[in-house]
Amino acid sequence: MQKHLKRVILSIDTGYKKVAISGNGKILIGANWMSQHQEDTDIVTHELMHIVQNFKALGPEWLTEGLADCGRFQYGLNNVAADWGLPPAAPFQHYKMGYRVTARFLLWIDKYQKPNTIAMLNAKLKDDTYSSASWKEITGKTVDELWAMYLVNKDID
């Protein structure tokens, strides 16, 4: 049985020059970022998603970040005020861009291709059983096949 954290430490650091990072029950946010983006409180939601993910091993960064942004999109409370949202699909994008681009793609898959794909991918990453073959196992299609379909029908509303 996997041990779940009951406490998370949140720190805002004037010396941290990036946006945010999390791990081992700790979230560190750059004070400069928060000063310049005061409404972006859901950066915490994104980082909490990483803590909840608690993956045994590192999966592809694009997928890990896309899953965390799915959580931010679904559970964030202040995204609109922070002017944060999912970008419209565009030909120059690729699912490996991660973050919001990947999140929108994952939400499209969940809605139009295979419900619960997000949860199943997350579970495979959590159990350290994820591989590129996971896409076909879960959806019946490769990630590249799904991406090609998404670019044709990219509506998630």
**Mean per-residue pLDDT pooled into runs of 10, the chain (157 residues):** 77 97 94 96 96 86 97 97 95 96 97 96 94 97 96 76
Contact 67, 53 (CB under 8 A): yes
What does the pLDDT read at residue 1?
43
What does the pLDDT read at residue 114?
96
What does the pLDDT read at residue 25?
92
User: Reduced to 3 states, what is the DSSP secondary structure of residue 9?
Assistant: strand
Question: Which of 56, 81, 55, 80 lies closest to 68 in space, CA to CA?
Answer: 55
What does the pLDDT read at residue 153?
82
What does the pLDDT read at residue 6?
82
Contacts of residue 41, defined as CB under 8 A and 6 or more positions apart, other chains included, come to 77, 78, 82
What does the pLDDT read at residue 70?
97
What does the pLDDT read at residue 157?
59
